[in-house]
Amino acid sequence: MSRKTGLVLVTALLVLAALLRLWDLAHMPPGFNRDELAHIRITEAMRAGEVSVYYQIGDRLARAALFGALNTAASDLAGGGLLGYRMLPLWSGLITLALLYALGRRLFGVPVALIALAAMSVNLRAVLLARTVTAESLVPLYTLLMLFFLAVAFNLRPVSFAELQSVADPGGCMPPKSTYIEPKLRSGLTVYSLEDM
């Protein structure tokens, strides 16, 4: 598959995902459930200047303030009401899809990343999660961010021979595990005699 074809497919899947998540967003699901109302009350309390680490609103459950703070900023930009409060989950859902593609491409290649993106673009649970005003709507984004950072951290590039030579010629020493060089000789076991070991 060419790079241009892959880009067209990714763009089409992201547009499809955005349309599924935006379609009738102000009316579906109708109204807010009890948990969503508690998060909206936290958002409004923060907007009124009542800042805390945890909030106990309504049902006596303690809720962290991170989602409320992010939702306050998002609803300030988008406005209040049904649509404004759902902007943060919507955008976090779309960013999650883009991050899923990037992580899948990095770890498994373009075909697997496209399959994962297609599956999550039309997944009913992912669509509904992007429409709810709850802290759980950010969990997929947090999870994929951590997985992406881990993949970047542990996917080190091989040291080039020129870099190795520039350290070794003056008598320097490379850190452990940094002398991994590609390509490896595939004949390592056949060249050496097992009797010499």
Tens-digit pLDDT profile for residues 52-62: 888 888 777 88
Residue 163 has pLDDT above 90, yes or no: no
CA distance 170 to 164: 11
172 and 137, same domain (yes or no) = no
* Whether the Cβ atoms of residue 64 and residue 54 lie closer than 8 Å to each other: yes
Domain that holds residue 170: 156-188
Residue 187 pLDDT level (bands cut at 50, 70, 90): low
pLDDT number for residue 139: 95
Q: Is residue 147 part of a domain?
A: yes
Residue 90 has pLDDT above 80, yes or no: yes
33 and 117, same domain (yes or no) = yes
7 and 27, same domain (yes or no) = yes
Q: Is residue 193 part of a domain?
A: no
pLDDT number for residue 83: 84
Residue 38 has pLDDT above 70, yes or no: yes
Backbone angles phi, psi at 63, to 5 degrees: -125, 140
Backbone angles phi, psi at 56, to 5 degrees: -115, 100
Across 116-136, average pLDDT: 93
Mean pLDDT of the chain: 85
